[in-house]
Amino acid sequence: MNVETMVQHANPFLNAQRQLLTAVDQLGLDRAVYEVLKEPERVVVVSIPVRMDDGSLRTFIGYRSQHTLVTGPAKGGIRFHPDVTLDEVKALSMWMTFKCAVMQLPFGGGKGGVVCNPKAMSRGELERLSRGYVRAIASVLGPELDIPAPDVYTDAQVMGWMMDEYSRIVGKDQPGVITGKPLVLGGSAGRSEATAFGCVVAARETARHQGWELEGATAVIQGYGNAGSISARMLHELGVRIIAVSDSTGTAYDPRGMDPVALLAHKRRTGSVRGFPGSQEIPPEELLTLKCDILIPAALENVITAQNAPKIQARLVVEAANGPTTPEADPILFKRGITVVPDILANAGGVTVSYFEWVQNLNRWYWSEEKVNRRLERAMVQACQRVFRLADHHRVNLREAAYMAALERVAAALKARGWV
C-alpha cells in the first residue's frame, strides 16, 4: 500500500514514512531514495528469559532496529516500557537517522526496546534483563556497527551493565559499544543534561530568529523526567516562568510560576508533580492547550494531534520528546503561526554528546564538561542556522526544513556509495 494513501491514526512508523516521503518530494530526489530508506536495513526480534526474584522464569520480548548504516554505525537508545512496539522502534530508528544527519554526525539511525514495566521490577531483575537483552543481540552490536544509549526508563546504570556484558562476550573492554554510561566506565561529562541543554539552545536560537528573547517568557513542560525537568531548570535560569508541568501521574499549574528545582524535589519525595505547594491540578489534556510562550512536550509520541492542535496557544513548541506531534497536526500549527522546533533538531543534544562520548572512548581521552557544552552549543547553533535557511528559502515549516537538511546528507551518502 502506498504510504500516501495509508490511514495514519497513531502509528509512529507510518508517520515517519510520511515525513520521509514529503522530504524526498520537496527536494526533488529520485524516489529510489525513498525506496531504500522507507524500511530499516535490519530488525531483530528476540525473546529474553529472565529469572525473577521469586524464582519464576519470565520471557520478555526485545527489539533492535537498524534503519541505515549508509552514513555510519547505527546509533540510538534502548527503552524499557510496557507499551513498546515493533513499529514504534522502527519509527524511532528512522528518526534517529535524520537526527544524526541534521547534526552532521557520522552515524545512521538505530533504536531498541524491551516490553516490560521497569517500575515493577527490582534492581536485580533489571540487571538480569539488561544483560539478557545484550546477549540476545550481541551479534549486531559493536563500536563500529551499532552503539546503543539510554532512552525511556533506562539510565547510566543500565548502560553500564550492558557495556560490561558485551565486553565479557567479546573478551575485552569495549566502552565504545554503549554511550550514556557512568563516568567511571567511560561516560562523558555533560551527557545527562545534553538533551535538555540542546533543547534550550534550540528554543533560544528559534526565538532570536523570530526577533524575541526567552527572558520573561512563560513555559509549559509536558513530561517531568530527565529532559523535561532539566529543561525547566535551564529555562528558569534564563528568566523563563514555568507555569505548568505534568508527569505520568498528574499535573501542577501555577500561573505565577514554579521553582523547577523545588518541584523536582517534591516529585522525588512524593512520586508525582501533583500536590506541589501553591499549585493546582488540571486535566492533562488542558495542560497542552494553556496559553504560554513555550510548550515543551517531553514525554511520548502523538500527544499533539489534529484534535487538539487548533487549541494549542503556545508561541513556540519545542519537541524534547520523539514524535510528539502527528503529521496531521503540523500543518494546523503552521497555518496558525505556531512554530514547531522538530524532535530531530530540538532533542539532538543527547545524540551529539553521545557522539562525543564515543569519540572519547575510541581515543581514551576525556574532555571537561565545559568543553563538551561548548562544542554542543556550537553544533546546535550551526544546525539551527542550516534549518532556518532552508525553511526561509523554501517557505516550509521547521520540521520539513530539518528533514530536507538531513535528507540531503543521507541522499548524498547513498549516491556516493552507489546505492541509488
Q: What is the DSSP letter of 291?
A: E
Whether the Cβ atoms of residue 186 and residue 175 lie closer than 8 Å to each other? yes
Distance CA 253, CA 1 (A): 45
In angstroms, what CA-CA distances link 180 with 72, 246, 323? 19, 25, 21
Pairing between strand 74-81 and 218-222?
unpaired
Residue for grid cell 492542535:
309
In angstroms, what CA-CA distances link 165 with 136, 276, 377? 11, 41, 33
**CA angle in degrees (0–180, nearest 5) for 271-242-221:** 60
**CA angle in degrees (0–180, nearest 5) for 144-146-148:** 125
Beta carbons within 8 Å of 263's beta carbon, 6+ residues apart: 224, 229, 232, 242, 245, 252, 273, 276
Alpha-helix residue ranges (DSSP H) falling in 211-348:
226-237, 260-270, 284-287, 329-335, 343-346
Distance CA 264, CA 281 (A): 16
For residue 174, give the 3-state DSSP assignment: coil
Active-site entry in 75, 111, 181, 267: 111
Amino acid at 260: P
Whether the Cβ atoms of residue 409 and residue 107 lie closer than 8 Å to each other? no
Q: Is 111 a catalytic residue?
A: yes
| Residues facing residue 168 across a β-bridge | none
Q: First CA to last CA across the chain, in angstroms?
A: 22
Quick one: cell of 309?
492542535
Residues with catalytic roles: 111
